[in-house]
Chain A
Amino acid sequence: MSSWHAAQVVRTEPLAASARVLTLAVPGFAGALAGQHVDVRLTAPDGYQAVRSYSLARVGRDEVVELAVDEVRGGEVSPYLVHEARPGDRMEVRGPLGGYFVWRPHDGGAVQLVAGGSGIVPLAAMARARAAAPTSDAPFRLLAAVRTPADAFFAKELDSTEGLTTTWLYSREAPPASTRPPGRLTLDDVTAHAFAPDVGARVYVCGPTGFVEAAAALLVDAGHDAARIRTERFGGA
């Protein structure tokens, strides 16, 4: 798992105004678990290399890597992946990586997912893995904080995924029908929409550092066991 695999872009699809899904063909890539990430290495013609980590948006197919990349303004790698990369472009991929922020179909039990912005990507992979596992009847809930409705990745799919209850929380601009005023995640949001602490759900929180710290603190305030909360923070660029 430590070596670099040659990868080639095979498809790109728009996902949101500043984000898209990239599908890479990666011979030798196998066995990814939901929640894991890969390191992507780009090499410029002059030999300069840049490495970034991206969560897998979907697992279950060997030799295929599906990423959902959000543009970080002024970044070195993500603007290329979101706006320029085309089918046929080559890069390198290392992975699948990480054994901490993962969900396995045989884990069982309720699962609470909490996403900030594009932190929804590895959590979507978990929801998709659960839907694809015929034996899993684990109830899933997703609290997804996004700026505006246009920033909600995979919204249609996540609103209709079997076994998953999704609540979108908008920080800047809510849809007209929404009764919740736009704003940051609050203790009331957690109490109203997340599993109650006595359910004993495994909790996965992913997003920018500030969001992850705030959300994890609210979950503990709401009574969740800190030992059952797993976090992943991302930076980007």
Chain B
Amino acid sequence: MDPAPLDGNSLAGPLAGLFATDVTLVTGRCAHCGDVSVLATCVVYRHPMGAVARCRACTAVLLVVVEHPAGTRVGLPGLAWWQGPAAATTTGAVAD
């Protein structure tokens, strides 16, 4: 039985080794349906191989994280873009 899905909050650990900021606060646009949401709110399926993050609106695969001893590999097959959190909440981030 596969475990029940989690959400993007659970990606904080797997992605922590790759990005200087907490990526779960990043806003992204689904390349498939256009839904714009904070990564923390996407639907995440965790498997022993890694985590698959799907769009909360259309279930398209947004991002895949595989933690490997040689390094963490991230695929972003379904994101049109990412935008960092506002500068007021995270120093050094880009605000629009």
What's the minimum C-beta distance from A156 to chain B, rounded to whole angstroms? 29
Contact A97 B13 (CB under 8 A): yes
Tell me if A191 counts as interface (CB < 8 A to partner B).
no
Nearest B residue to A231 via CB reads: B41
A101 to B25, CA, bound (A): 10
Interface size on A, residues (CB 8 A): 29
A99 to B1, CA, bound (A): 30
A208 to B5, CA, bound (A): 9
A28 to B82, CA, bound (A): 32
Contact A100 B9 (CB under 8 A): yes
Known contacts A53-B10, A99-B24, A99-B25; decide if A1 and B4 are in contact (CB<8 Å).
Answer: no
Nearest B residue to A76 via CB reads: B3
Nearest A residue to B40 via CB reads: A100
* Chain B neighbourhood of A233, CB < 8 A: 5-7
What's the minimum C-beta distance from B28 to chain A, rounded to whole angstroms? 13
* Chain A neighbourhood of B46, CB < 8 A: 51, 235
Tell me if A224 counts as interface (CB < 8 A to partner B).
no
Q: What 1/0 mask marks residues of chain B from 37 to 59 whose CB sits below 8 Å from any chain A CB?
A: 01011010010100000000000
What's the minimum C-beta distance from B80 to chain A, rounded to whole angstroms? 21
Contact A75 B3 (CB under 8 A): yes
* Chain A neighbourhood of B25, CB < 8 A: 99-100
* Chain B neighbourhood of A101, CB < 8 A: 9, 40
A→B interface (CB under 8 Å): 1-3, 37-39, 50-51, 53, 72, 74-75, 94-95, 97-101, 208-209, 230-237
